[in-house]
Amino acid sequence: MSSYDEMDAFEGASLSARAMPTRSKDHLEWLNSPQLEAATRLDGPLLVLAGAGTGKTRCLISRIAEILDEKRARSDEILAVTFTNKAAKEMKDRVQKYPVNVSRGLQWMGTFHAICVKLLRRHAELVDLKSNFTILDSDDQLRLLKQLVQAANIDDKRWPARMLAGIIDDWKNRALTPDKVPAADAGAYNNKGVELYAQYQTRLRELNAVDFGDLLLHMVTIFQTHSDVLEQYQRWFRYILVDEYQDTNVAQYLWLRLLAGGHKNICCVGDDDQSIYGWRGAEVGNILRFEKDFPGAFVVRLEQNYRSTPHILAAASNVIRGNEDRLGKELWTDREDGEKVRLIGHWDGEEEARWIGEEIDAMQGGTRGVRPMNLDEIAILVRASHQMRAFEDRFLTIGLPYKVIGGPRFYERMEIRDAMAYFRLVVSPEDDLAFERIVNTPKRGLGDKAQQTIQVVARENGVSLVEGARLAVENGLIKGKGGKALRELIDGLARWNSMTRGPRIEVDDDSVIDDGVSPIRYGAPEHTHIELAQIVLDESGYTGHWQNDKTPEAPGRLENLKELVNQLDNFENLQGFLEHVSLVMDNEQDSDGAKVSIMTLHAAKGLEFPAVFLPGWEDGLFPSQRSMDESGLKGLEEERRLAYVGITRAEEVCTISFAANRRVFGQWQNSMPSRFIDELPEDHVEVLTPPGLYGGGQVSAGIETRAAEANVYNSPGWKRMQARQGQYGMSQPKESRNTVIDATAVASFTLGERVFHQKFGYGGVVGIEGDKVEVEFDKAGTKKVVSRFLSAKDDVPF
Ligand code: ATP
Ligand code: MG
């Protein structure tokens, strides 16, 4: 049925109810019947409840244009809430393309927070603030809470202030001021939570400050207690529109309900299957009770998906069907069949990144059976942000332009920069910039004054800051707690630096002449550089700093730190790693050209791309173990909704992958393919043959891949994958492989063999020790390298 046939049916049904909408206007031109209804039924509450890619956001845009075109409101009288600032900008751009009057600006189009900051500046005095209030970041917020916790004589080892911060955030998400916290929560934070919450709010007022949660909470309070102000805005915002309504929390919901309370011209669009912010207090129930809150609400359901091919849609629908707690919707599309969803297993995350890099290259060139794609048509969506590192490294190495959406790139993240600053100082204590970065991170009680003292002493004595700090402490210039902490840091740095080498070895003059290098020799260090990195992060208090942090970002930051330490396994020492990072970061040119997008599944909500890669579909990673541990079945269902969001971002090609092994702290761990893979419908999935497994493709060559084969074949994940291939009638491996080559433990090279190393080039094997191979490289001299990173010369992987 074409949308015009439907249109006739619709017109027949609702002609009597209201004037017939027409598609003669630009902004209504291509809408199907229910979409047209959503865009033109302007009076009263309206809910669009529909699955992914059915045009909900498009309806909102058309509706705004229609309001303007019909002169129902001026552009500054429309309140439109989007989920991100980026989405707000896109919406503005799209409305402005239509020939409608936006001369007063679409200034009330933005996120809840952005809109509330503007409102609160106008009415700050109603909650005892001045209009120039500051917005505290989570660090400041924590510092403040710590002071209160200390003053209340609470043991913050048992009851960390971070925990209190989390509890208060949660109350704010639920729009609970201290006097409204329910009795059931009275026991929170050792029975002191509510009292401290009240003190915290008082303290914020004294400082003329708010935290993020306050932006909404204060506005809700103002609207609840000042009916004149509320009525003013109820009149002003003639039309209210909300995208991604399924992810609103209670405070946002109350705020909306208050504002729409007058004319009730509120239009919310959402999809219960895409509610993915439960962990931040979002309540999918908000969308489900819309009709109760706004009696007489008109509900539009959209079923035609315009975004994805039938295969992609079928895959997404089948996965989400696994959730019990949902309304249940069926989507259809009249698009051409296109490619099946592609599924591929890899040896490990690095291999996965490499393969995806090659796929993207091939897609660009149009040699992948699909039309040639531009880089900006391709996205990689990951479950956890630490997964990005492998892709970023790979893409930087092969010069594939990419951008990270919704967050900094891996090596630019705060915790990674902090950790790297420690490593830099361990390797070179003269690195003053690194010292400045970490001297008071984590907090050591070294404020501006102490830091200035260090600077002055260093300058006057012509020494590095570390040395200046040592002099300052020894001469009693920095005393007390700060002085003690500083001494610990300096001692730590000296100790870690000495751990980069083993004991000094006396050598006789002959050998010095022989190898022509420094006369000072050291034995092998006691700890590997991986262990050392972990020791530095732990002993400096940096790991603990994030472990004690109870904000939602903290676990992600700890995972990023783990990933950083994992990554060291690819290098011989800290120095080599630091060089690598400065080189890859240098490779990056800020070109304006098209780039592949890398982002988390959470950040991808509402977006669409012709080609989407969904890597890391392994149980524990996705669905995330943490989410399942913390929230059980509810957590699993939220993860499944994330899977649905991920698949439905794809228009033409969707590639799901998993690795049979991931490295955690330098240790290989087998992983099972995600249970969501089992939920993909067979008829709509094509299992790809990893090049390394069947002898196809260049990448298959080399010891690395031989090991990959062995590992994959022995991982439980692979066995399931094999079983699935059987189901699909795919080819089985040509020969049975019973030998297990554990290349992580023993090198399989022979003395004298010619080899190739990605970084050092060609060389000959001169020694073998466990999994370490000593190679005399043609250009780079003699080095010991991990065997995994060597290929037999004939098998050069490029
Ligand atoms: P999500 O749930 O992912 O946010 P959505 O329901 O908001 O999706 P949109 O992003 O508005 O969907 O639309 C999906 C795609 O379909 C867009 O590219 C949009 O331009 C297109 N589209 C929507 N409606 C129509 C239509 N009637 N005719 C042609 N294309 C359409
Ligand atoms: Mg949308």
Ligand 1 binding pocket includes 627 (Cβ within 6 Å): no
Q: How many domains is the chain partitioned into structurally?
A: 5
- 57 annotated active-site: yes
CATH assignment at residue 176: 1.10.10.160
- 84-112 tens-digit pLDDT: 878 888 999 999 999 999 999 999 999 89
Ligand 1 binding pocket includes 31 (Cβ within 6 Å): yes
**Is residue 181 a contact partner of residue 171, using CB atoms and an 8 Å limit?**
yes
- 274 annotated active-site: yes
Ligand 1 binding pocket includes 35 (Cβ within 6 Å): yes
Ligand 1 binding pocket includes 58 (Cβ within 6 Å): yes
Residue 190's contacts (CB-CB under 8 Å, 6 or more residues apart) are 154, 158, 159
Q: Do 154 and 83 have their domain in common?
A: no
Catalytic residue among 37, 211, 244, 608, which?
244
In a mutational test of the pocket of ligand 1, which residue from 90, 245, 306 has the highest number of ligand atoms less than 8 Å from its CB? 306
- Cα of 58 vs centre of ligand 1, distance in Å, is 6
Please check whether residue 570 lies inside any domain of the structure: no
Ligand positioned closest to the Cα atom of 63: 1
Q: Do 397 and 449 have their domain in common?
A: no
Closest to 282 (Cα-Cα) out of 250, 324, 257: 250
Per-residue pLDDT band at 647 (split at 50, 70, 90): very high
Ligand positioned closest to the Cα atom of 34: 1
Beta pairing class for 298-300 and 134-135: unpaired
Ligand 1 binding pocket includes 275 (Cβ within 6 Å): no
Q: Do 328 and 292 have their domain in common?
A: no
Quote the CA–CA distance of 563 and 570 in Å, as a whole number. 12
CATH assignment at residue 790: 2.30.30.140
CA 411 vs. chain centroid, Å, equals 14
The residues with which 240 forms a beta bridge, in sequence order, are 79, 266
> For residue 697, is pLDDT > 60?
no
> For residue 790, is pLDDT > 80?
no
CATH assignment at residue 528: 1.10.486.10
* b (16+ CB within 10 A) / e for 681-713: beebbebbbbbbbeeebebbbbbbbbbbbbbbb
Strongest mean pLDDT among 178-182, 283-287, 709-713: 178-182
> For residue 788, is pLDDT > 90?
no
Q: Do 593 and 729 have their domain in common?
A: yes
Domain boundary among 187, 207, 227: 207
Ligand 1 binding pocket includes 651 (Cβ within 6 Å): no
Q: What angle do CA 248, 627, 246 make, to 5 degrees?
A: 15
- Cα of 262 vs centre of ligand 1, distance in Å, is 31
Half-sphere exposure of 204 (CA within 13 A, CB side): 27
Percentage above 90 pLDDT, the chain: 56
Closest to 91 (Cα-Cα) out of 600, 652, 648, 606: 606
Ligand 1 binding pocket includes 84 (Cβ within 6 Å): no
Domain boundary among 207, 226, 260: 207
Q: Do 364 and 298 have their domain in common?
A: no
Computed on alpha carbons and rounded to an integer, the radius of gyration of the chain in Å comes to: 30
In a mutational test of the pocket of ligand 1, which residue from 4, 58, 63, 641 has the highest number of ligand atoms less than 8 Å from its CB? 58
Closest to 655 (Cα-Cα) out of 312, 273, 276: 312
Q: pTM surpassing 0.85? A: no
The pair of three-digit structure tokens given for residue 334, joined into one six-digit string: 């009249």
> For residue 723, is pLDDT > 60?
no
DSSP per residue, 65-88: HHHHHTTSS-GGGEEEE-SSHHHH
Q: Atom 9 in ligand 1: which residue has the minimum CA distance?
A: 55
- 557-587 tens-digit pLDDT: 998 899 899 888 878 888 888 877 776 665 5
Ligand 1 binding pocket includes 32 (Cβ within 6 Å): yes
H or E element in which residue 266 lies: strand 266-270
- 44-78 tens-digit pLDDT: 999 999 999 999 999 999 999 999 999 999 999 99
Q: Is the peptide bond before 442 cis (omega within 30 degrees of 0)?
A: yes
Write 761-764 long-range contacts (CB < 8 A, 24+): 762/793
Q: Do 678 and 728 have their domain in common?
A: yes
Task: Tell me what pLDDT residue 136 has.
Answer: 76
Percentage above 70 pLDDT, the chain: 83
Whether the CA torsion 199, 201, 204, 205 is positive or negative: it is negative
Ligand positioned closest to the Cα atom of 59: 1
Question: Domain limits at 776?
Answer: 742-795
In a mutational test of the pocket of ligand 1, which residue from 31, 57, 332 has the highest number of ligand atoms less than 8 Å from its CB? 57
Task: Tell me what pLDDT residue 183 has.
Answer: 94
Q: Do 719 and 621 have their domain in common?
A: yes
Least confidently predicted of 28-37, 374-383, 502-511? 502-511
Half-sphere exposure of 157 (CA within 13 A, CB side): 0
Task: Tell me what pLDDT residue 586 has.
Answer: 57
Domain boundary among 261, 279, 304: 304
Which amino acid appears at position 439 of this protein? V
Torsion of CA 241, 246, 247, 250, to 10 degrees: 80
Catalytic residue among 40, 54, 57, 234, which?
57
Crossing angle (nearest 10°) for helices 554-567 and 529-539 = 150
Q: Do 220 and 280 have their domain in common?
A: yes
Which amino acid appears at position 182 of this protein? P
Catalytic residue among 340, 649, 662, 724, which?
649
Q: Do 250 and 114 have their domain in common?
A: yes
Per-residue pLDDT band at 759 (split at 50, 70, 90): low
Please check whether residue 546 lies inside any domain of the structure: yes
Closest to 41 (Cα-Cα) out of 292, 274, 257, 297: 297
Per-residue pLDDT band at 793 (split at 50, 70, 90): low
Which of 367 and 345 is assigned the larger pLDDT?
A: 345
Strongest mean pLDDT among 218-232, 338-352, 401-415, 521-535: 218-232
Q: Do 423 and 546 have their domain in common?
A: yes
Least confidently predicted of 271-285, 527-541, 769-783? 769-783
Burial class of residue 296, CB neighbours in 10 A (0-12, 13-18, 19+): exposed
Quote the CA–CA distance of 77 and 54 in Å, as a whole number. 27
Task: Tell me what pLDDT residue 521 has.
Answer: 64
Ligand 1 binding pocket includes 53 (Cβ within 6 Å): yes
Whether the CA torsion 151, 156, 159, 164 is positive or negative: it is positive
> For residue 7, is pLDDT > 50?
no
Residue 7's contacts (CB-CB under 8 Å, 6 or more residues apart) are 23, 32, 33, 36
- 577-618 tens-digit pLDDT: 887 777 666 554 456 688 999 999 998 999 999 999 999 999
DSSP per residue, 558-608: HHHHHHHHHHGGGSSSHHHHHHHHHHHHHH-----S--EEEEETGGGTT--
- Cα of 331 vs centre of ligand 1, distance in Å, is 13
- 304-321 tens-digit pLDDT: 999 999 999 999 999 999
- Cα of 3 vs centre of ligand 1, distance in Å, is 14
Which amino acid appears at position 92 of this protein? K
Per-residue pLDDT band at 500 (split at 50, 70, 90): confident
